[in-house]
């Protein structure tokens, strides 16, 4: 990947904030919310400032600036994100709208109308081109697991659930960062489940007589769950919807596991999730509760921005 600064028409953009963007003092400390949104672009060799730079990926060339890169990395991490949640506190709605229009015209994102609860919104996902830009820009970091990026919607039936992952992450990570912790990456449930299935099936690999059924003893499964800091209930490993990996202020690595509690969680299913000890994000009420290091609180979405994004 080649990167160089585009000299055409960018000097004024570098000197002055873009329309709708508030000038930020060099001495002003980023808020916990800002830091939470920076996590996913931290390890990418892509533009970080307000000036557009040329980015060449294979035979394609794009012009990107920092806020567009943050949008790509955030959307790629969570697979699908409501558009209004991508706006930084220091930016006006027009900045986000222009960023999304530019990314969509460049073939890096797709947008589609959707309803979350009673609010109309616009959902944003990466295209394969968008994911390719992020993958090609990785800077390997010793000892760090890479952030996984996704393109497109996984399953339409899971969409109502998946659109709440990003907001749950922001609320939980804001608390962690405000307490002095450093967030490293996010792991979604299907990543953990894929690793678990690989563990279960590894004894079958290369065996002609294999039936395809898992060949692991209960004690092996319990050990795997303990190594991955996952609880077990009735001999079954319990997986959260979302895991945040972070360092405590004293440097110790830890995780916070979050479960999205939608209205359809009832009976034994709801009880099992509560027993697992995950931090619960109650969809609709926008509130975190239970789990390690969590507390109540939350913030409603800005439905006015959702309406503007659809216009």
User: 49-53, 98-102, 125-129, 306-310: which has the minimum mean pLDDT?
Assistant: 306-310
Across 24-38, 120-134, 234-248, least confident range: 24-38
Contacts of 39 (CB under 8 A, 6+ apart): 173, 183, 184, 185, 186
Give the strand pairing for 232-233 and 236-237: antiparallel
| 296 part of a folded domain | no
Q: Is the pLDDT of residue 67 over 80?
A: yes
pLDDT tens digits for 155-202?
777 788 889 999 999 999 999 999 999 999 999 998 999 999 999 888
3-state SS class at 149: coil
pTM for the predicted model, two decimal places: 0.78
Residue 81 lies in a domain: yes
CB 131 within 8 A of CB 118: no
84 assigned to some structural domain: yes
Evaluate if residue 109 carries a pLDDT over 70.
yes
State yes or no: pLDDT of 90 exceeds 70. Answer: yes
Domain containing residue 106: CATH number: 1.10.10
Range of the domain at 134: 2-20+29-151
Task: Please report whether residue 60 resides in a domain.
Answer: yes
- Could you tell me how far CA 10 lies from the centroid of its own chain? 30
pLDDT of residue 18: 45
What was the pLDDT predicted at 264?
61
Q: The dihedral of CA 163, 165, 170, 171: what is its sign?
A: positive
**Per-residue pLDDT band at 140 (split at 50, 70, 90):** confident
Segment of 114-123, 149-158, 180-189, 228-237 carrying the highest mean pLDDT: 180-189
Quote the pLDDT of residue 203: 74
In this prediction, what percent of the chain has a pLDDT beyond 70? 73
> How far from 35 is each of 29, 39, 40, 180, 190, CA to CA, in Å?
10, 7, 10, 11, 25
Residue pair 162/79 in contact by the 8 Å Cβ criterion: yes
Structure confidence at residue 168 (pLDDT): 93
What total of structural domains would you count in the chain?
1
Determine, yes or no, domain membership for 6.
yes
- Contact by Cβ (8 Å): 99, 67: yes
Name the DSSP class of 28. P
In a domain, 237, yes or no: no
% of the chain surpassing 90 pLDDT: 47
**302 inside domain:** no
Residue 132 forms part of a structural domain: yes
């Amino acid at each position: 990947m080649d990167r160089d600064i585009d000299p055409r028409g960018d000097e004024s953009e570098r000197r002055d904030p873009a329309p709708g963007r508030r000038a930020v003092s060099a001495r002003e400390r980023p808020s916990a919310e800002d830091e939470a949104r920076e996590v996913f672009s931290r390890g990418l060799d892509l533009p970080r400032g307000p000036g557009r730079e040329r980015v060449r990926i294979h035979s394609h060339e794009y012009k990107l600036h920092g806020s567009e890169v943050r949008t790509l990395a955030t959307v790629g991490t969570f697979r699908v994100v409501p558009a209004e949640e991508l706006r930084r506190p220091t930016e006006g709605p027009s900045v986000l709208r222009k960023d999304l229009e530019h990314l969509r015209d460049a073939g890096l994102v797709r947008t589609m109308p959707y309803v979350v609860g009673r609010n109309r919104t616009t959902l944003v996902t990466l295209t394969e081109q968008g994911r390719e830009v992020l993958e090609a820009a990785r800077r390997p970091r010793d000892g760090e697991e890479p952030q996984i990026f996704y393109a497109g919607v996984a399953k339409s039936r899971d969409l109502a659930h998946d659109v709440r992952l990003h907001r749950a992450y922001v609320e939980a990570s804001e608390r962690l960062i405000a307490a002095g912790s450093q967030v490293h990456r996010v792991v979604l449930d299907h990543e953990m489940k894929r690793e678990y299935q690989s563990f279960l099936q590894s004894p079958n690999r290369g065996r002609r007589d294999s039936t395809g059924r898992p060949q692991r003893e209960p004690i092996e499964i319990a050990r795997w769950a303990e190594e991955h800091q996952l609880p077990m209930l009735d001999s079954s490993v319990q997986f959260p919807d979302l895991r945040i990996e972070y360092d405590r202020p004293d440097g110790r690595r830890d995780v916070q596991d979050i479960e999205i509690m939608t209205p359809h969680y009832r009976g034994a299913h709801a009880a099992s999730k509560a027993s697992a000890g995950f931090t619960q994000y109650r969809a609709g009420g926008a509130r975190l509760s239970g789990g390690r290091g969590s507390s109540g609180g939350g913030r409603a979405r800005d439905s006015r921005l959702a309406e503007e994004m659809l216009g």
